[in-house]
Amino acid sequence: MTVSNSIPFLDLITPHVELEQELMGVFRQALHTAGFIGGPMVENFEKAFAEFCDTKHSIAVSSGTDALLFALVASGVSDGDVVVTVPHTFIATTEGISQAGGLPEFVDIDEGTYNMDPKKLKEYLEGKCTRDQSGRLISKRSSRPVTAIVPVHLYGQCADMDPILELAEQYGLLVIEDACQAHGAEYFSRKLNRWRKAGTMGRAAAFSFYPGKNLGACGEAGAVTTNDQDVSATIKMLRDHGQSKKYYHDLEGYNGRLDAIQAGILHVKLAHLAKWNAQRRERAAEYNRLFTSTRNSTLLPHEPSWSRAIYHLYVVRTQDREGLMAHLKAAGIGTGIHYPIPLHLQKAYDSFGYAPGDFPVCEAVSAQIVSLPMFPQLTNEQQARVAEEVFRFLQIADAPKPVAAEPMPLAAAEHSA
């Protein structure tokens, strides 16, 4: 490892070097048994991950995108169905929906949590949908039946699920969680008066084990969690060419299995996930402490009392985002933007016919957010240096002021909430 002063956005080397012997053991076992696809390594990981998530089943698949696709298909989303989601997410959310034959339609996000705004969902269902003669819920926009909702637990924080689930029940809609950034995140249900884990609240949920996620493989991987035996059984067929047994194809499926080596690696790393998530929460608390003096706390991540986030990302909001990123880059500090272009304005989705202004919260947020370095092994010293450079930039960027007794706000407040 270098002793350079630079601070990466994400450190994927340290945790793997620390676990090198165990991880090499997985590879050796696979070589010695030639168990490369399926088998006990995959089944053991599935059991352990279901236990971690508090679900009856977990089905390992080849990516988070496939997890979402299989979860939607197995839960009964069919060709031409509208699936409601948010424009503020990674495109894999809508890829999963489209590949399942669905048509994504969007509702705006909540400005505090950056997740689906239940009030916007209510407005959509009440105002943008109608009933046909047979009582089906139809989108006025596309004239297609609305059958499912995909809330995304972005940045490691659950969407506000109680009102979303209530609306889903009221309108007879399926809920599939995109939990690809939320392994271990928790949500306090006021309705049930208990904490619930991400991945347990809908019919099924998709997780990604892309290397940079809180639980990452050394390659591509994903999983579906569900408490539904039929959904689980269907996904096991879908991922394996629709086979119920060898060469008996009950349906046309996919090549969407998980490699045994990746499952073994994930199993080794899963044992550390609770600790890593706790460390991320400590790192987030430390950033919050360092940035307290910015006063405008709405620009720091907002964690409602009903949320225990696992800080896949630590995202702040600032007016001169590009300036701040350039300053931090020059200081050797890595940052990212998650995500710069809302999905409804992506070229790929021109044909959906959305326009700028359709989802104002998402559009305002995506122009101002920046993700600071966040990983379990981040040190207090590194975070202090990030904070120091953020303050230095804001003092340069803002209008001249008398010698500041305390650091400048993170950004001038342009929203009052």
Ligand X SMILES: *Cc1c(COP(=O)(O)O)cnc(C)c1O
Binding site for ligand X (CB under 6 A): 63-65, 89-90, 92-93, 152, 178, 180-181, 208, 210, 222
- In the bound state with ligand X, the residue whose beta carbon lies nearer, of 60 and 125, is 60
d(Cα 239, Cα 288) in Å, to the nearest integer? 42
What are the residues facing 333 on neighbouring strands?
Answer: 7
**b/e for 172-205, b at 16 or more Cβ within 10 A?**
ebbbbbbbbbbbbbbbbeeeeeeebbbbbbbbbb
- In the bound state with ligand X, the residue whose beta carbon lies nearer, of 38 and 211, is 211
- In the bound state with ligand X, the residue whose beta carbon lies nearer, of 90 and 393, is 90
The CA–CA distances, whole Å, from 382 to 286, 312, 322 equal: 11, 18, 21
d(Cα 332, Cα 4) in Å, to the nearest integer? 9
Residue type for position 322: E
Residue nearest to ligand X (CB): 64
d(Cα 371, Cα 209) in Å, to the nearest integer? 20
- Shortest reach from residue 386's CB to ligand X, in Å: 23
- In the bound state with ligand X, the residue whose beta carbon lies nearer, of 374 and 410, is 374
What are the residues facing 223 on neighbouring strands?
Answer: 60, 207
d(Cα 188, Cα 306) in Å, to the nearest integer? 5
Helix axes 64-75, 229-238, angle to 10 degrees: 120
- In the bound state with ligand X, the residue whose beta carbon lies nearer, of 176 and 284, is 176
- Shortest reach from residue 312's CB to ligand X, in Å: 8
- Shortest reach from residue 220's CB to ligand X, in Å: 6
- Shortest reach from residue 395's CB to ligand X, in Å: 34
- Shortest reach from residue 258's CB to ligand X, in Å: 11
Query: Are 391 and 406 spatial neighbours (Cβ–Cβ below 8 Å)?
Result: no
- Shortest reach from residue 185's CB to ligand X, in Å: 12
- In the bound state with ligand X, the residue whose beta carbon lies nearer, of 146 and 159, is 159
